[in-house]
Amino acid sequence: MKKIFTIKSFRLLFIILFIILWLTPPAFSYPVEFADSSGKSITIDKRPERVVSLVPSITEIIFKIGAGNAVKAVTYHDNYPSEPGSKKIVGGFFSPSISAIEAVHPGIIFISGLHKKVMKKFGHGKCKLINLETDSISDSYTNIILLGRIFNKEKEAAILVDEIKRQLRIISEKVDRIPDSKRKRVLRLMGRDPVMTPGDDSFQNEMIRAAGGIPPVLGKKGNIVVITKEEWVTFNPQVIYGCGGDRETAKIFFNRPGWKDVDAVKNGKIFYFPCDLTCRAATHTGYFVSWLASRIYTEEFSIKADQVLKEKVFKSCSLDLDLDYIKDTRVSYSHIHDFLNKTLIINFKRPMSLVSTLEGERNGIKSVGNHYSSPPCWGINHKSSLSNIRKRVYQVINKSEDTASFLYTGADMDNLAIKRERFREMEVYALVTAGVKSNSVRMSRDGGRFYEPGTINIIILPNMKLSPRAMTRAIISATEAKTAALQDLDIRSSYTPQIHQATGTGTDNIVVVEGEGTPIDNAGGHTKMGKLIARAVYEAVQEAVYKQNGIVTQRNIFQRLKDRKISLFGLVSVDECECGAEKSDLVCQLEEILLQPRYASFVESSFAISDDYENGLIGDLSGYELLCQKVAEEIAGKKITNLKDLIKPEKVPPVLHIAINALLNGIYYRIK
């Protein structure tokens, strides 16, 4: 007995020590010594506490490994994932403000080779400048591991690299099953005029190869190079992809002889992805390569027999909803089409009735939920009907169409928001996922032309028994609260962002469960139940939008301009002013002006005035023009007799034109 006790004690001690060692970060990881991309030797003596990151890919990595609390300031290009949006902004990537960086008192600044002014200002003081360039996927692994060492997050960094490699291995296995004769020529569209594309040695072409595509070989090196019409036609891309402003290039060139006469244009195989994914090799390389591969080979990836992974749930996380009729609640993680899917599943103790805007009135329902398909699944799902998607999902999560009622979304279930509102014995839960970047609309103004995953999905769970009348009335209460939440966040329409706020997305859905207990026959705006539903939905929508898209009420002026699809560089109508300033100088100084709260608020107020003017609530702008004149003169430091028109007239609505033109005139006359 004594020997058995000793063995058990030893095993218990070993388990305890293992847990302690696993959970406790290394105590002696410093100093960290390395050479950065410029060849400079750097020593980090302790965990950084005051960091400015001017490089979006580095910012992304720092936050992903859980070291974001050390970052005190970023550029307005650093908006992915969502957390950097809450940090101090020091300008843009190309022209960060020296004074704004100084105000942070950084100990470390992450820079690129383009930041010459930053190097000149901070290169000889106590502040450490670190340049970590990313020219390949391998470089991104090296940078992740190094940043893990710098911030004492080595375990998190190693896990992240392993996950990226795992995703790339799955894609490699999938494309290995495609014969070489069916591999497709793929080109990344970049630039405006001339047409640009990545060089032969770029990480973007490496991503194309990782996705099973064949990139062009032009004999040109660099992150971005010119591709001539002759090279374009000779390569004859079968798939073209881009991001952001690349749509403008497509509009201009894809109607011209030669440029339009390639397979990708003729067959409509042109795809657009978020620039945060296409232009970075950082934490989401495997995710983006998976998405790109699924767009290139949608047909091939739709064949179930060629899948690499078994379609099944491999992990579940429990959630706690304190309602008597709820048996259990969880988010289940599964693989469908070899890609990650996540499903919110709410099981009832007994069959319930509900109203769904997707399926109508349903009775005898034992489970409700919300299913997320990750972006690599979207193209495949678009080839299928909702009925077939539903059958496949239910098969994986072991549910029956007869007794389950689920919603479907492109918003990540890890970004689920759960809000509970209570008054005395009355209680309501709202469970919401929300994505508003690609699919937001203003009903009555915008026309629905196509489907893109975005979607605000809402599930309402009361602790009292709603009648059919109360359930349908609850839909109105929830819808009005959702719209109020979007308008208070100033979410813009995807179709007409410069003139319209969004009222929802084109694919929103709501499920209202009847609940059980005290009967309720009304859930409208004048009832306590309606108020609780509205409050829960309002709070949950705003939280879900933040989690999914990083949008909050107090976001910076640069993000709000981006929401309206306004590019400061694209606004300026001159390449060189009479005052001697070039366009890039004007834009740089405009960014510097907008870092000042006084002038940022001035432009932000113009947003509200512009919306009211477009809606006919304001008819005379003469008083506003006088204000703008005063602002221009304040910046210039002198009287201005005649404001010049420095804005391209077609780029923004009249009110915004007047406001931003005033700022530019202030800069112009200050220089002159």
Which pLDDT value is given to residue 400? 97
Q: How confident is residue 176, by pLDDT bands cut at 50, 70 and 90?
A: very high
User: What is the rounded CA–CA span in Å between residue 171 and residue 208?
Assistant: 12
b/e code 261-297 from CB counts within 10 Å (16+ = b): ebebbeeebbbbbbbbbbbbbbbbbbbbbbbbbbbbb
Res 451 pLDDT > 90: no
Neighbouring-strand partners of residue 225: 197
Please give the full DSSP string across 375-414, using - where no structure is assigned. HHHHHHHHTS-HHHHHHHHHHHHT--TTTEEEEEESS-GG
Mean per-residue pLDDT, 630-658:
92
Categorize the per-residue pLDDT at 175 as very low, low, confident or very high, splitting at 50, 70 and 90: very high
Q: Which residue type is seen at 304? A: K
Residues 6+ apart with CB under 8 A from 462: 426, 427, 428, 429, 474, 513, 514, 515, 520, 523, 529, 533
pLDDT grade for 449, boundaries at 50, 70 and 90: very low
Of 98, 107, 90, which Cα lies nearest the Cα of 42? 107
* Contact (Cβ atoms closer than 8 angstroms) between residue 520 and residue 529: yes
Could you give the CA distance from residue 251 to residue 110 in angstroms, rounded to a whole number? 36
- What pLDDT, on the 0 to 100 scale, is given for residue 452? 41
- Which has the minimum average pLDDT: 168-172, 289-293, 497-501? 497-501
Give CA–CA dist 598/357, Å, rounded.
45
pLDDT of residue 530 exceeding 50: yes
Can you give the pLDDT at residue 453? Answer: 43
Number of Cβ within a 10 Å radius of residue 443: 12
Which segment of 243-247, 265-269, 311-315, 354-358 scores lowest on mean pLDDT? 243-247
3-state class percentages of the chain: helix first, strand second, coil last, to nearest 5: 40, 20, 35
- Say what the pLDDT of residue 577 is: 57
Is the pLDDT reported for residue 418 higher than 70?
Answer: yes
Mean pLDDT of 622-634: 96
Residue 390 scores a pLDDT above 80: yes
Cα 76 from Cα 91, distance rounded (Å) = 6
For residues 299 and 295, what is the distance between their CA atoms, to the nearest angstrom? 9
Nearest to 551 by CA among 409, 415, 348, 422: 415
Do the Cβ atoms of 526 and 44 come closer than 8 Å?
no
* Nearby residues of 331 by Cβ (< 8 Å), 6 or more positions away: 316, 317, 319, 342, 343, 344, 345, 413, 414, 416
Neighbours of 86 (CB within 10 A): 14
> Collapsing DSSP states into helix, strand and coil, what is residue 212?
coil
Q: What are phi and psi of 27, to 5 degrees?
A: -85, -20
pLDDT tens for each residue of 355-374:
999 999 999 999 999 999 99
Cβ atoms 369, 409 nearer than 8 A: no
Report the range of poorest mean pLDDT among 139-143, 398-402, 529-533, 554-558.
Answer: 554-558
CA distance 259 to 230: 9
What pLDDT was estimated at residue 3?
Answer: 47
Q: Tell whether the model's pLDDT for residue 604 goes beyond 60.
A: yes
CA distance 63 to 280: 15
**Can you count the helices (H) and strands (E) in the chain?**
23, 25
**Residue at 563: amino acid letter:** D
Instruction: Flag whether pLDDT at 122 surpasses 80.
Output: yes
pLDDT at 517: 94
What pLDDT is attached to residue 383? 86
DSSP letter for 83, please: G
- Greater confidence (616 vs 446) lies with 616
What are the DSSP E strand ranges found in 39-180? Answer: 41-44, 51-53, 71-74, 88-89, 108-111, 128-131
CA nearest to 381, candidates 351, 419, 339: 339
Taking the C-alpha atoms of residue 559 and residue 550, their distance in angstroms, rounded to an integer, is 10
Question: What's the average model confidence in pLDDT over 336-350?
Answer: 97
Strand 225-226 with 196-197, pairing: antiparallel
Count of residues for the chain? 672
Which amino acid appears at position 646 of this protein? L
Structure confidence at residue 524 as a pLDDT band (50, 70, 90): very high
Tokens 């992304």 correspond to 60
pLDDT (average), residues 114-131: 93
pLDDT at residue 80 greater than cutoff 90: no
Residue pair 493/547 in contact (Cβ under 8 Å)? The answer is no
Task: Count the alpha carbons within 13 Å of 548 in the hemisphere toward its beta carbon.
Answer: 28
The phi and psi torsions of 309 (rounded to 5 degrees) equal: -105, 150
- pTM of the complete model: 0.89
Residue 413: the pLDDT is: 97
CB 491 within 8 A of CB 505: no
Mean pLDDT of 40-45: 95
Task: Please name the residues in contact with 313: beta carbons below 8 A apart, sequence gap of 6 or more.
Answer: 332, 333, 334, 396, 397, 398
Q: CA-to-CA distance for 168 and 187, rounded, in angstroms?
A: 20
pLDDT band at 244 (very low <50, low <70, confident <90, very high): confident
**Pairing state of beta strands 108-111 and 51-53?**
parallel
Residue 29 pLDDT: 79
The stretch 501-508 carries a mean pLDDT of: 91
Closest to 435 (Cα-Cα) out of 495, 383, 506, 487: 506
| Range 377-404 burial, b when 16+ CB lie within 10 A, else e | bbbbbeeeeeeebbebbbebbebeeeeb
Sequence-ordered list of residues with C-beta below 8 angstroms from that of 299, at least 6 positions apart, any chain: none
Structure confidence at residue 361 (pLDDT): 97
Beta bridge partners, 313, equal 334
The most confident of the ranges 24-28, 84-88, 220-224, 346-350 is 346-350
CA-nearest of 436, 425, 461 to 536 is: 461
pLDDT at 266 over 60: yes
Helices (H), 416-567: 468-488, 528-549, 557-563
Q: What is the pLDDT of residue 1?
A: 42
* Spatial separation of the C-alpha atoms in residues 566 and 212, rounded to whole Å: 35
pLDDT score for 126: 87
Task: Give me the chain's average pLDDT, please.
Answer: 91
Place 264 in a pLDDT band, splitting at 50, 70 and 90. Answer: very high
| Structure confidence at residue 19 as a pLDDT band (50, 70, 90) | low
Q: Can you give the pLDDT at residue 7?
A: 55
Peptide bond into 179 cis (omega under 30): no
pLDDT in tens, 180-195: 999 999 999 997 778 9
